[in-house]
Amino acid sequence: MDQLSFSSLDHAAKKKRTKRDVFLAEMAAVVPWPALEAVIEPHYPKMGAKGGRRPFPLAKMLRIYCLQQWYALSDPGAEEALYDIQSMRAFCGFELGRDAIPDETTILNFRHLLERHDLTKAVFAAVAEHLEARGALLRGGTIIDATLIAASPSTKNAERRRDPEMRSSKKGNQWYFGMKAHVGVDAKSGLVHTAGVTTGSVHDAKVMDNLIREDDRAVYGDRGYASDEKKRQAEAAGVKWAVKEKAKPGRELSASQRRRNRRFGKVRAKSLPSRRRGSSTCSAF
């Protein structure tokens, strides 16, 4: 029997379970991990006949990847979270003092392996099929959302350059360097059904069509997705356009527009409390 570290014992003894504890326990129980590992396993590196460095267990790397999707963690951020947050370590099956923690390069290489073999779509499609069979995904409407995932802009690395997959993006008056995660969330269950990533410079509205399901009857989004053309198309198709209104240059929103924004904002807030609901249920675009 493996001996628990002091941090694990302290965490197990605490009286209150946090939302993160509850969510990770749900995902550990609901996600069909063996089926997902079977999709990736043929492509995962093996230790050669001459020995060499043993790769981290696939099950642990897959869970780290899911943590990145749920909590918008960059590769360095995922490494730090595994050192800092006991519930995340426990979810992935790591014990400080006993197990080595994957560094950011190892986490990056696993993400690139999934992308190189187009496995993210296959993995998320398998989970979506599993949860739909259980009735966890309820069709009707989609909430579209995007979040920036920061990356290090430093060139102090082996290649002496920034990550070529990352770009700079301005939000408000502040510049960010990294990538952007885009999600389509089921408005009823709060589970993410579609996800994808782009460089940080890609505008949210450019990928919104990839986040909406064919049978959706409502679309919710913030002002970044406002489009008169999309609104007309949705209304012509009988789809409820619940994207927040954006004030025209030199004009203010009317009282009815502000009330509409507050009403639709409540739906988004209910289903996107911390931008982390069940991304493992989704398909990739």
- Residues 66-117: tens digit of each pLDDT: 888 778 788 999 999 999 999 999 999 999 888 999 999 999 999 999 989 8
194-214 pLDDT per residue, tens: 888 888 888 888 999 999 988
Q: Residue 133 is encoded by which pair of tokens?
A: 């069979």
Distance CA 258, CA 24 (A): 36
- The Cα 88–Cα 63 span in angstroms is 9
d(CA 5, CA 89): 11
Roughly what angle, to the nearest 10 degrees, separates helices 75-84 and 104-116? 130
Please give the structure tokens belonging to residue 171: 């939000």
Residues 6 or more apart whose Cβ sits within 8 Å of residue 41:
58
Q: For residue 178, list its beta bridge partners.
A: 150, 167
Q: Which two tokens stand for residue 254?
A: 């009317």
- Domain assignments of the chain as residue spans, ordered by start: 18-117, 126-284
Cβ atoms of residues 94 and 106 within 8 Å: no
Residue range 172-188, pLDDT digits in tens: 677 777 888 888 888 87
Q: Cβ atoms within 10 A of the Cβ of 267, count?
A: 15
SS (H, E, C) the chain: CCCCCHHHHHHHHCCCCCHHHHHHHHHHHHCCHHHHHHHHHHHCCCCECCECCCCCCHHHHHHHHHHHHHHCCCHHHHHHHHHHCHHHHHHHCCCCCCCCCCCHHHHHHHHHHHHHCCHHHHHHHHHHHHHHHHCCCCCCCEEEEEEEEECCCCCCCCCCCCCCCCEEEEECCEEEEEEEEEEEEECCCCCEEEEEEEECCCCHHHHHHHHCCCCCCEEEECHHHCCHHHHHHHHHCCCEEEECCCCCCCCCCCHHHHHHHHHHHHHHHHHCCCCCCCHHHCEEC
Q: What is the pLDDT of residue 42?
A: 94
How far apart are alpha carbons 121 and 14 in whole angstroms? Answer: 38
What is the Cα–Cα distance from 59 to 45, expressed in whole angstroms? 13
pTM to 2 decimal places:
0.57
**In CATH, what number does 126-284 get?**
3.30.420
Q: Tell whether the model's pLDDT for residue 64 goes beyond 80.
A: yes
How many CB atoms lie under 10 A from the CB of residue 99? 17
Model confidence pLDDT, tens digit, residues 30-56: 888 998 899 899 999 987 666 667 899
> Cβ distance 89 to 82 under 8 Å?
yes
Spatial separation of the C-alpha atoms in residues 121 and 230, rounded to whole Å: 26
pLDDT cut 70: percent of the chain above it: 76
End-to-end CA distance of the chain: 42
Rounded-to-integer distance, Cα 39 and Cα 232, Å: 41
